Structure 1
Amino acid sequence: MTTTGVPPTAPQRSLPARFALLPQGTGLHRIDGAWWPRTRHLATELPPLLDALAPRWGRITRVTVDNLMWNTGPHRLVLGRRVIHISRSIGMGHRHTVCLLSLGTGRCDLLVIPPDTPAERAGRLMANASRTGGGGGRQFGAAGHGTHTTVD
């Protein structure tokens, strides 16, 4: 029997995070924005999100997610010279949220739009999530734009 070797593939570059935040300076909110990951692999999805949030939220060091939303994965990630601790809760909080903690900056809670959500619906959810009092917020995503809302 002969086997054909498959050439190794180059490492894939991660795509930009799809997210949206409420405008800065709008006060405290229970939810600060929305995130629409492409997969349920937290170790793949978190790095681009954390990089994109760094200008506003600083060095995020802890992340809490609902275990039912994500595939099994690590309890910590090493990104460069920092360690991100990941807590996985079961039944605590809301299944469709992620809590990000940054020393000295505070807490950012994002609505998580499931990866399999149709694009049109995800877009509406993102747009709603970044609005305060009927006004539009700044959007971020694949081209540097995104939004916030609730998932049914």
Structure 2
Amino acid sequence: MTAPIERAASRVLAPALPARLSLTPETALACQLDGAWWPRSRDLEAELPALADALDGPWGRMTHVTVNPTRWPVIPHKVPVAGHTVHVGWFTEQDPDKLILLSGTVGRWDLLVIPPETQPAAAARLMAAATIPGSVLTARALMAAEAAIGGGMRDARSRVEDWESEGGACMSPFGDLPGRRSTWR
């Protein structure tokens, strides 16, 4: 008979990976987001310690975090991190793609949360876009733009691949050609 391993104990034994985080450079320009965070999972209890570790030094001790529950299957009330506790709250009115961090010394930071399953190229674009000083783009706008760009690229590529594999050499995948009628749409 095997003894069950407690979840918290397994986290202590596993080496902590650094947070994938990009912050907006310090500037006098106000912006919608203070950076972007790309967690490795949707487990706040597992992900918040690395984020706190990355931010506690330069930013001050993280005390509270708020999220929208649509992106996080389990939301713990408290998460122990590096000698203190981070209180976690949730609001359905909050942008689902944003994490709000509170610190007693610095105040509030808003981070774009890039879904863990995001491809590296898309995550890099989102991290770069979220850290532009003075940007007025919200987390929702950035995610919608990425979906349009990333999805549009995949759609165009798949249409061309379909066209080529189905013998479409005699017609254009881009609609009617001058003086020629196409049935492809």
TM-score bin, normalised by smaller chain: 0.7 to 0.9
Within 1, Cα distance between the matches of 2:81 and 2:121? 32
Within 1, Cα distance between the matches of 2:82 and 2:34? 26
CA contact (8 A) 1:57 1:108 kept: no
Within 2, Cα distance between the matches of 1:113 and 1:132? 19
Of the three residues 78, 81, 88, the one matched with 2:80 is 78
Q: 1:80 to 1:52 in 2, by over 3 A?
A: closer
Within 1, Cα distance between the matches of 2:75 and 2:131? 29
Q: Residue in 1 aligned with 2:46?
A: 44
Q: Residue in 1 aligned with 2:129?
A: 128
Deviation at 1:133, TM superposition (A): 5.9
Q: RMSD between aligned alpha carbons?
A: 2.3
Letter in structure 2 aligned against 1:36: W
Of the three residues 142, 147, 150, the one matched with 1:150 is 142
Cα deviation, 1:124-150, whole Å, max 9, x if unaligned, reads 11112222269xxxxxxxxxxxxxx82
Letter in structure 2 aligned against 1:110: L
Deviation at 1:81, TM superposition (A): 3.2
Greater strand share, structure number: 1
Q: Percent identity?
A: 40
Q: Whose radius of gyration is greater, 1 or 2? A: 2
**Structure 2 segments unaligned to the other structure (5+ residues):** 136-140, 145-185
CA contact (8 A) 2:30 2:133 kept: no
Count of aligned positions = 133
**Structure 1 segments unaligned to the other structure (5+ residues):** 135-148
Within 1, Cα distance between the matches of 2:69 and 2:16? 23
User: Could you state the TM-score of these two structures normalised by the residue count of structure 1?
Assistant: 0.78
Q: Residue 51 of structure 1: SS of its match in structure 2?
A: helix
Q: Residue in 2 aligned with 1:61?
A: 63
User: Could you state the TM-score of these two structures normalised by the residue count of structure 2?
Assistant: 0.65
Query: Bigger CA drift: 75-84 or 120-129?
Result: 75-84
Within 1, Cα distance between the matches of 2:134 and 2:101? 24
Larger RCO: 1 or 2 (CA < 8 Å, sep 6+): 1
Letter in structure 1 aligned against 2:14: Q
Within 1, Cα distance between the matches of 2:16 and 2:71? 20
Cα deviation, 1:53-83, whole Å, max 9, x if unaligned, reads 1233200100001111112131101224312
The answer to whether 1:11 aligns with 2:4 is no
The answer to whether 1:104 aligns with 2:105 is yes
Within 1, Cα distance between the matches of 2:128 and 2:29? 19
Query: Bigger CA drift: 10-19 or 100-109?
Result: 10-19
Q: Residue in 2 aligned with 1:33?
A: 35
Greater helix share, structure number: 2
Deviation at 1:93, TM superposition (A): 1.8
